[in-house]
């Protein structure tokens, strides 16, 4: 991999087509699953990466995401990420989000408190809304203070997917 170059790939899962982008440091983007390959390709067109990679550059991440979405494994924490261009608060909120246990949910307020900024619930919401590495940074585990599911999917309302992911995780936890 050449320094400063970004590469992308797409692959099909049980949940639909997913696209990944990476730098030499780690994953920079992970799309939400799309039922149609063309929608996945459309998302990639808006990314910074211009190098489609079909070889083994993404093999570890693809294997782990398949395991996750098939309910076999949830070891996504060891996938290297590159969030170097994100604001410091986002990095903190995302790291806290990654610490939320499988099948568990926490509120925006809880994440804000853990970040050292207990009144920053809205800022946590912005961090989650700007999460470009969905699934791997599991923002679907962050919910409203009243226990309700809230927005998911970069401006899209994909609450059905959020619920499906949480149910998948709870099923996995109940079996292990």
Task: Please state the φ and ψ torsions of residue 134, each to the nearest 5 degrees.
Answer: -60, 160
Q: Is 40 a catalytic residue?
A: no
Two tokens, residue 33: 């699953």
Residue-wise pLDDT tens digits, 101-117:
998 999 999 999 999 99
CA quadruple 99, 157, 169, 70: dihedral sign: negative
Cβ contacts of 12-15, under 8 Å, gap ≥ 24: 12/37, 13/65, 13/66, 13/69, 13/70, 14/69, 14/70, 15/69, 15/161, 15/164
Least-confidence region, from 55-64, 84-93, 155-164: 155-164
The DSSP bridge pattern shows strands 142-143 and 106-107 to be parallel
Confidence of residue 4 (pLDDT cuts 50, 70, 90): low
Residue 161, helix vs strand vs coil: helix
Are 93 and 104 in contact, with CB atoms under 8 Å apart? no
Residue-wise pLDDT tens digits, 26-37:
999 999 999 999
Residue 156, H or E segment: none
Q: What is the pLDDT of residue 93?
A: 98
Question: Residues with Cβ < 8 Å from 59, sequence gap 6 or more?
Answer: none
Are 103 and 173 in contact, with CB atoms under 8 Å apart? yes
Q: What is the pLDDT of residue 150?
A: 73
- Dist. CA 80–CA 90, nearest whole Å: 17
User: What letter would DSSP give residue 138?
Assistant: -
DSSP H stretches of helix in the chain? 37-45, 59-69, 88-99, 108-114, 121-129, 159-175
Which entry of 30, 40, 97, 139 is annotated as an active-site residue?
Answer: 139
Closest CA to 136 of 87, 52, 53, 78: 78
Cα 125–chain centre separation: 14
What CATH number matches the domain at 88-175, 3.40.309.10, 3.90.700.10, 1.10.10.10, 1.20.120.530?
1.10.10.10
């Amino acid at each position: 991999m050449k320094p400063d170059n970004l590469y992308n790939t797409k692959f099909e899962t049980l949940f639909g087509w997913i696209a990944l982008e990476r730098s030499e440091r780690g994953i920079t983007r992970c799309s939400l699953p799309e039922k149609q390959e063309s929608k996945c390709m459309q998302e990639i067109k808006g990314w910074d990466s211009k190098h489609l990679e079909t070889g083994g550059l993404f093999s570890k991440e693809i294997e782990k995401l398949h395991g996750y979405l098939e309910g076999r494994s949830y070891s996504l924490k060891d996938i290297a990420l590159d969030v170097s261009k994100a604001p410091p608060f986002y990095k903190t909120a995302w790291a806290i989000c990654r610490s939320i246990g499988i099948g568990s949910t926490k509120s925006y307020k809880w994440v804000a408190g853990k970040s050292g900024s207990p009144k920053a619930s809205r800022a946590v919401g912005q961090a989650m809304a700007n999460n470009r590495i969905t699934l791997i940074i599991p923002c679907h585990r962050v919910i409203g203070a009243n226990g309700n599911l809230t927005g998911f999917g970069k401006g899209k309302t994909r609450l059905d997917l959020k619920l499906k992911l949480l149910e998948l995780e709870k099923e996995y936890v109940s079996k292990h």
